[in-house]
Copies of this chain bind each other. A is one copy, B any other.
Amino acid sequence: MKVTIGQINSIIGDVEGNVKKIKAAISKAISDCSELIIFPELSLLGFPPFDLLKRKNLKKKIEDAISDLINEKYPIGVLIGVPTFNSSVFNSAILIHEGKVIGRQDKFFLGDDPLLQNRYFSCGKPEVITFNGKKLGIVISDDLLEADFDLFSDFFSSVDLIINISSSFYYYGKRAKKIESLKNLAKSYGKKVIYVNQIGGNGELIFDGGSLVFSEGGELIFESKIFEEDIVTLDLDNFFRREASEEDISFIYKGLVLGVRDYFKKSGFKKAFIGLSGGIDSALVACIAKDALSSDNVVGIGMPSIYTAKESIEDAKTLSQNLGIEFRIIPIKDIFYSYLKELNPSKAPIMDLAEENLQSRIRGNLLMFLSNREGGIVLATGNRSEALTGYCTLYGDTAGALEVIGDIYKTMVYDVAKYVNREEEIIPHNILVKVPSAELRPGQKDEDSLPPYGVLDPILNAYVDQNKTFEEIIKMGFDENIVKEVIRKVESNEYKRRQIPPVLRIRSKNPLRERNLPLVHKFI
């Protein structure tokens, strides 16, 4: 049996555009003599649609698009993820063949979905769909990942082939879990498993594609492109075992590039403005933006203050040259003093926190000004360690439409930067080795306000990602006072996280959207 993986990049809500993409893929499958093409979960509408599912005009749009596909009377099977509407809404797969819908499967695993999509959908029942004499068992979404297959053992036992259509967003470390789970499913029931996943950036979420096929013995026999569209036909009866791509740091980099590229493309923007401080965070964001948008569409802005070291601007300039991007310098000294004239009786700096934040906010203003005037988007450069501890200035370094590396701990920022430099020195060596500093007062270092990142990041990881308690973190060997202070920072900066830009998702647990905390609370 020849099957085509339709790993497409849908745009949420762009039903007409998605249908075009789907039709093009079907044409390719037909010319490849495929019997069946499989598209991802909700790929006709785009995923995740959230409250678009409540729009009253959605049903007609979707049904019109399905009719359009039916009317093509395709000679091959087209299995596609769509919402279906009866008395309630279902997350479904429909199988179209020769001008008819010959089968439909509603999602029947509804797990504790981090995106809360399950709020919108009713739960279906598994039903075997017969196509060209083969019994297909179709499963929707990656709730399968956490689920107990044996709840549906009759179903899995009775089919010839298991197909999992999914829109599974990427996070670092998910791939191995996913492969393990699908492999087990194939092996336990002795069935081939085809997994087709969405690819593309949709807002904060990055979908990695990387569709998979497993043999009856649980061997991986096919893996499609990762972080790229892929329409590929394979002969299920003629295959060899292969190794899965191993997830390494390059996945994070490629994922972020895709996330930035699709954010711009899907929201209709071209140009990115990035404040380049000479530090590692902004350097990494510039590299990602350049690979996502091309060097012509990235502008780096150096905004030295009276506390900025000369070498910071030199490093930013060298980086820009290495990337081939435009670099402009706008000194903020005179602007800073024009504020102080109104705010300080002496008209000179007194070097308090207010002045530190002011400098950062002047930079935010300048970047927003350029994006307003020239058209484009400001990319914020904060990292996860900063967002969690509130070591950032609201409306200052957090200004921007997207926080590109906001889900990456500072220690991992270095790892990703080293990946960028794997073949040649793109990020100047000096940026990689200098002591982290916000340069908002003379001689300032991040470590004046935070524990060293090598200590901070594991504590944050334990507290936020692993939900460990204060006592458990102490037992891991960290200093009591440091842990107490880190937790205090995390808890007292919820108000900042409510206003930082959307963060490209790289971890399973997002501090803003999945870690849902009261704005004000006293629980420690």
Binding site for B on A (CB under 8 A): 11-15, 17, 46, 48-52, 54-58, 61, 112, 116, 119, 202-204, 263, 266-267, 330-331, 334-335, 337-339, 341-343, 352-355, 357-358, 361-362, 364-366, 368-370, 372-373, 394-395, 399, 401, 467-472, 495, 498-502, 515-524
Contact = CB atoms under 8 A, between A and B. Distances in A.
Contacts of A355: 369
B335 A11 contact: no
Q: How many copies does the complex hold?
A: 2
A507 to B, nearest CB: 16
Contact of A395 (B48, B331, B368, B468): B368
A330 B343 contact: yes
Nearest to A500: B499
Contact of A58 (B204, B517, B523): B523
Nearest to A501: B499
Contacts of A470: 57
Q: Report which residue of A58, A401, A471, A515 has the largest number of chain B beta carbons within 10 angstroms of its beta carbon.
A: A401
A12 B522 contact: yes
Contacts of A51: 515-517
A48 B355 CA distance: 36
Contacts of A52: 517-518, 521, 523
A468 B46 CA distance: 22
A523 B342 contact: no
A341 B323 CA distance: 29
Nearest to A522: B14
A46 B518 CA distance: 10
Contacts of A352: 372-373
A119 B522 CA distance: 22
B521 A46 contact: yes
B395 A369 contact: no
A401 B368 contact: no
Nearest to A362: B365
A476 to B, nearest CB: 14
Q: Report which residue of A49, A54, A373 has the largest number of chain B beta carbons within 10 angstroms of its beta carbon.
A: A373
A457 B334 CA distance: 43
5 contacts: A263-B520, A335-B342, A337-B338, A339-B369, A361-B361
A361 B48 CA distance: 33
